[in-house]
Amino acid sequence: MHIPENYLSPQTCAVMTAAMVPVWTVSIRRVKEELPKVKIPMIGVCAAFSFLGMMFNVPLPGGTTGHAVGGTLIAILLGPYASCLAVSVALLLQALIFGDGGVLSFGANCFNMAFVLPFVGYAVYRTLKKVFKGKNGNLAAAGIGSYIGINCAALCAAIEFGIQPLLFKDASGNALYCPYPLSVSIPAMMIGHLTIFGLAEVVFTVLILAYIEKTSPSMLETRTAGKTSKAVNILLGALIVATPLGLLAEGTAWGEWGADEIAATGAGYTPAGMLKGFSFDALLPDYSVSGLPDVFGYILSAIIGAALLIIIFKLLGTIGGRKKTATQP
- How many Å apart are CA 20 and CA 91, to the nearest integer? 13
* Residue 327 confidence (pLDDT): 39
| 85 touches 53 (CB < 8 A) | no
CB-facing half-sphere around the CA of 124: CA atoms within 13 A: 23
pLDDT for residue 320? 60
Q: What is the pLDDT of residue 329?
A: 36
Please tell me the predicted confidence (pLDDT) of residue 222: 61
pTM: 0.94
Q: What is the mean pLDDT of the chain?
A: 92
- Contact status, residue 107 vs residue 17, Cβ threshold 8 Å: yes
Q: Within 13 Å and on the Cβ side, how many CA atoms surround 135?
A: 1
Q: Roughly what angle, to the nearest 10 degrees, separates helices 117-129 and 80-98? A: 150
Q: Fill in the DSSP letter of residue 58.
A: E
Which residues have a Cβ under 8 Å from the Cβ of 171 and sit 6 or more positions away? none
Instruction: Taking the CA atoms of 113, 119, 120 and 121 in sequence, report the sign of the dihedral they define.
Output: positive
Rounded to whole angstroms, the Cα distance separating 205 from 184 reads 29
Which residues lie closer than 8 Å to 205 by C-beta, 6 or more apart?
68, 70, 72, 73, 76, 142, 143, 146
* pLDDT < 50 stretches in the chain: 325-329
